[in-house]
Amino acid sequence: MQFITTFPSCSSPFLNHHISSVSFRSIRPRLSSIRCSSSSSEMEGSTSTGMYPLQRCKTLHFVRHAQGIHNVAGDKDYSAYMSYDYFDAHLTDVGWSQVDNLRKHVQKTGLVKKLDLVITSPLLRTMQTAVGVFGGEGYTDGISAPPLMVENAFNSGRPAVSSLGSPAFLAVESCREHLGEHPCDKRRSITEYRPTFPAIDFSLIENDEDVLWKPDVREKNEEVTARGAKFINWLWTREEKEIAIVSHSGFLYHTLSNFGQDCHPSIQEDMCKHFANCELRSVVLVDRSMIGAAASSTNYPGKVPSGLDKPSDQSESQSDKI
């Protein structure tokens, strides 16, 4: 099975946070899927493998936020998503239990120690999930490093979370949920978030107030897909090789559904199904279009010191000609 993820060609990385006007139809021809095999007969009868330079790869760990109060209300009555009672929804007690269980998993597997960066959508439920899963141990007053989350943040009843021993945390607007109409998907001001999440970096967010969310316009699925493609493209401008992304059901579904169309059906289904609350999926992305330009940190040039190094098979082929 050949497992390749490629990206849409783009003359500039995704650096702004506005809704793209590019339609799904216009980006699709330039977007290759995960390649699992070159034909259906290969899928059925043989195994195909691929090999790529390590510096052209990134490992991404996608996480959907844990259960929020809007999930519970919306499951009972979909119209609840239109209620301002669930503005910038926070996690439920069940959601925090889901966070604690995923935290145990990433610590047991050693994943958290491999991470170079945690990217989070700047909504309350995603930031709560991100710091709860990937943050350091309990915070103690007097420690010089700021906490990732203060104690009892937004009346959560949770202890403070330390930033010591944790990867860097970066809030990114472009991995938010569908924008518009649903108050649960509208964020607070960054001014309000900063004192609650002191160690999260909000520097890439251009506007203090939420200028992207509109009360009477819901972002279309194809716009979310285009935004997701630009987000993946932007990741290749980052130096980090192993990144966790804490986001939302709709964003993750429409972003990952762009990949896997030529895989075996079981792999495509695994890639493209909706995420459960606090589900984690890991993928390897391969840059075959030279979007990323990082040099290898592990390759070694050899011949130090210099010496004769003619391959034995080359010598044998020359002797056959005599």
Which residues are marked as active site? 65, 177
CA-closest candidate to residue 92, choices 119, 66, 110: 66
Cis peptide before 13 (omega within 30 of 0): no
What does residue 138 show for φ and ψ, rounded to 5 degrees?
Answer: -55, 145
**Structural contact between residues 244 and 119, judged by C-beta atoms closer than 8 angstroms:** yes
**Structural contact between residues 66 and 130, judged by C-beta atoms closer than 8 angstroms:** no
How far apart CA 214 and CA 253 sit, in angstroms, is 22
How far apart CA 84 and CA 226 sit, in angstroms, is 28
Q: What is the DSSP string of 66-78?
A: --BHHHHHHHH-G
**Structural contact between residues 145 and 168, judged by C-beta atoms closer than 8 angstroms:** no
In the DSSP assignment, the letter for residue 294 is P
How far apart CA 271 and CA 276 sit, in angstroms, is 13
Report residue 316 as tokens: 């044998």
Q: CA 179, 91, 272, 52 torsion: positive or negative?
A: positive
Report residue 120 as tokens: 């989070």
